[in-house]
Amino acid sequence: MKIGIGNDHSAVVMKNQISEYLKGKGYEIVNYGTDSEESYPYPIAGETVAKAVVNHEVDCGILICGTGIGIGLAANKVKGIRCAKRTQQC
């Protein structure tokens, strides 16, 4: 399975942790986000991953930003996408 992952500047560390975990489980990861902590607009990452899912470039997508709300809203503007926020309390 090929998974697209997108993030803004606030989620670089988390994206890398999730990517490494999934690679260890045998998934192919396509990075659509930033690898820098310099300011990066979450709408670009959200839209890019959503379009990759709709165009069957990846099987599914994971989006990560500071709150998880903005990036999901950007993804949901792409026809055919239904993105929802999942939170986990530690």
Residue 90 pLDDT grade (very low, low, confident, very high; cuts 50, 70, 90): very low
**pLDDT at residue 89 in the model:** 52
Whether 22 shows a pLDDT value over 60: the answer reads yes
Q: Rg of the chain's alpha carbons, rounded to an integer?
A: 12
Q: What is the pTM of this model?
A: 0.89
Is 71 within a domain? yes
**Phi, psi at residue 19, to the nearest 5°?**
-60, -45
Which domain does 35 fall in, by range?
29-76
Write out pLDDT tens, residues 27-50. 999 999 999 999 999 999 999 999
Give the pLDDT confidence of 55-75 residue by residue, as tens digits: 999 999 999 998 888 999 999
Q: Is 60 a catalytic residue?
A: no
* Residue at 47 is within a domain: yes
Whether residue 44 is contained in a domain is answered as yes
* Domain membership flag for residue 58: yes
- Provide the pairing of β-strand 2-7 with 60-64: parallel
Instruction: Report the number of distinct structural domains present in the chain.
Output: 1
65 and 43 Cβ atoms separated by less than 8 Å: no
